[in-house]
Chain A
Amino acid sequence: MGLVPWYDGRDGMYGWIWRHLPGSTWVRALISLALVVAVVYVLFQYVFPWAEPLLPFNDVTVDNQ
């Protein structure tokens, strides 16, 4: 075993996720879509609002409150 669970030489991590999803191709595609939506939701709702103030667009005052 290597450092990552998909270390078996067959395909990458996305392939590994795909192979571990249950059901037919269509069910897998649907689950994948749901996963992508969930990841985007978490990013937009939690991660980006946290990261955005670290960028300079917020500095509009002269006294840096």
Chain B
Amino acid sequence: MRVIVRTVSELCITVGSVIVLFVVYVLFWTGVKADGVMDDQIELLQEQWARSSTPPAGAGSSTANTASPPKPAPYAKGKPFAIMHIPRLGFTWNKPVLEGTATGTLKKGLGHYAETARLGQKGNFAVAGHRRTYGDPFKDFPRLRRGDAVVLTDGTTWFTYRIDKGPYKTVPSDIEVIDPVPRTSGYTRPGRYLTLTTCEPEWGHSHRLIVWAHLDSTQPVEAGKPEALRR
């Protein structure tokens, strides 16, 4: 009898310790890991851009007269291709955007829905991000308001999107929100749109929060940071 009581109590202590450790892992350790990984991704991008920014200047001259610019290479799955800045979420808030929305990809940054438009192109550039855990990128998502800037760069161009419709709560099956012309957003004509999605409530998965934005302006990186990122 005593052995049973002792074994059960020791098991309880063990399970309790594991649960506490798990909470520490989810709340704290995923954030530490994700911050490191996201910084690595941003560094990787900046290295790539630094390397590729020099050759095209000379090589481009011979093909400058072709009718249309060559179609850009598709984004590589699971690889970063842009950096997003949202001043409302913090002046230094910047996260890498990776291609795809697989679980492993979203651990490294924000995920671009593979079927949606490219950055700055006609259609809907849709991006998903964690609200909680893995660095909490979209923790302050509900604070986004109409008129807020969402600024992205792909190394050659700055894209400034302006939010038109603030956090809109929907259900996870509502895939229309990332349509080229998302109907519930109030847009009626095709355009260059951006959609951000995250989970709602903060720690749950019963709903999703959405914001929509339209492309407001673009400028080459040589022209410096866009208005929205200057203090």
**Footprint of B on A, CB under 8 Å?**
2, 4, 6-7, 9, 11-14, 40, 43-44, 48, 51-53, 55-65
Contacts and interface: CB of A to CB of B under 8 A. Distances in A.
Main secondary structure, interface of B, reads mixed
Contacts of A63: 101, 113, 175, 178
Contacts of A13: 7, 10
B192 to A, nearest CB: 20
B212 to A, nearest CB: 13
Interface in B185-231: 197-199, 203-205, 208, 210
Given A11-B6, A13-B10, A64-B172, A59 B199 contact: yes
Interface of B: 2-3, 6-7, 9-10, 18, 21-22, 25-26, 29-30, 100-103, 106, 111, 113, 128-133, 138, 170, 172-175, 177-178, 197-199, 203-205, 208, 210
A7 B3 contact: yes
B132 to A, nearest CB: 5
A4 B173 CA distance: 49
A55 B30 CA distance: 13
B205 A59 contact: yes
Nearest to B202: A57
B10 A57 contact: no
Given A60-B208, A61-B172, 7 more contacts: A7-B3, A9-B2, A11-B6, A12-B7, A57-B203, A60-B128, A60-B129
Contacts of B133: 52, 57-58
A54 to B, nearest CB: 11
Contacts of A60: 101, 106, 128-131, 138, 197-199, 208
